[in-house]
Amino acid sequence: MTSTDAPAPAPAPVDNTKPNSFQRIVGVFASPAKTFDEIARRPDWVVPLLILVVISFATAWAIGSRLDYQGLAQQAMESNPRVADMPADQQARMVRFTATTMKVTTVIAPLLSIIGLLIIAGVCLLGVRAMGGGGNFAQAWSVAIYGWYPRLIKGILATIVLLNRKSLTIIDLQNPLRSNLGFLFDPKLHPVAFAFTSSFDIFAIWSLILYIIGFSAISRLSRGKTAAVIIVLWIVVVMLTLIGPAFQAAKMK
């Protein structure tokens, strides 16, 4: 080497740091595309799922401790036109059974949400792979959990709203935030319209967008193709949720 030769520049340091789960949770809201690309490379689920479950149990306990299950069951029975023709003792048994069911459902709801997330991960993965995309269940499971966080935010806000009310009715529980147009319809008089408009919830659509971004990242499909898959699956779910209200409306005629 001559005196005029300059030393070769040192290679740029490689950043091998892995964002932790808390950084990813923030990233899902702040920079979802970048975050889901990272999740596609290194999926994780333990910490974000644990946070979901703990907060869900906390909000369920906070609301459940204030609920009058007997009164709510009575309200539910009054919305059923067939109850009026039942003997008084049978009505009382139905009220007790409904109250117990509501209480159990409130307690196990966080566990049921885990089952729901497993179904979301599996069905969405099958959908994108049917379109020629890639991905595995670990990636899909991670996307399903992180993409659910807008709904967790809704749950926290709903809990704050409900805890500041003196008494709670079934209508309050069904749509506490008015983050959709369901508040324009009385669920007793217009059950189908209420269920349909409630499906177009701001937080649900937010999660839908995150699922499109996330499943596009793990499948390597275009956003357009991924959106087609996710939206079709969402429409199917909306249609299924209308079955119960449709039967309720038919009974009212």
pLDDT tens across 65-85, in order?
888 888 888 877 776 666 666
* Residue 178 resides in a domain: yes
Share of the chain above pLDDT 90, in %: 63
Q: Which residue has 């333990």 as its token pair? A: 46
Instruction: Encode pLDDT of 101-143 as tens digits.
Output: 888 888 898 889 999 999 999 999 999 999 999 999 999 999 9
Predicted local distance difference test score (pLDDT) of residue 3: 45
Phi, psi at 210, each rounded to 5°: -65, -35
* Residue 176 resides in a domain: yes
Task: Count structural domains, the chain.
Answer: 1
Residues whose CB is less than 8 angstroms from the CB of residue 165 and which lie 6 or more positions away in sequence, other chains included: 172
Compute the distance between CA of residue 210 and CA of residue 29 in angstroms, rounded to an integer.
9
Which range of residues forms the domain containing residue 27? 21-252
Q: What three-state secondary structure class fits 172? A: helix
- Please calculate the CA angle 150-143-162 and round it to the nearest 5 degrees: 20
* Residue 119 resides in a domain: yes
Whole-number Cα distances in Å, 87 to 15, 81, 92, 137, 145: 73, 13, 9, 52, 47
Compute the distance between CA of residue 60 and CA of residue 107 in angstroms, rounded to an integer.
7
Contact call for residues 124 and 144 (beta carbons, < 8 A): yes
Residue 217's pLDDT band, with cuts at 50, 70 and 90, is very high
Predicted local distance difference test score (pLDDT) of residue 167: 82
Residue 199's pLDDT band, with cuts at 50, 70 and 90, is very high
Contact call for residues 146 and 48 (beta carbons, < 8 A): yes
Predicted local distance difference test score (pLDDT) of residue 5: 47
Compute the distance between CA of residue 180 and CA of residue 65 in angstroms, rounded to an integer.
26
Asked whether residue 25 carries a pLDDT value surpassing 70, the answer given is yes
* Residue 12 resides in a domain: no
* Residue 189 resides in a domain: yes
pTM (2 decimals)? Answer: 0.86
Q: Which of 164, 168, 146 is nearest to 35 (CA)?
A: 146
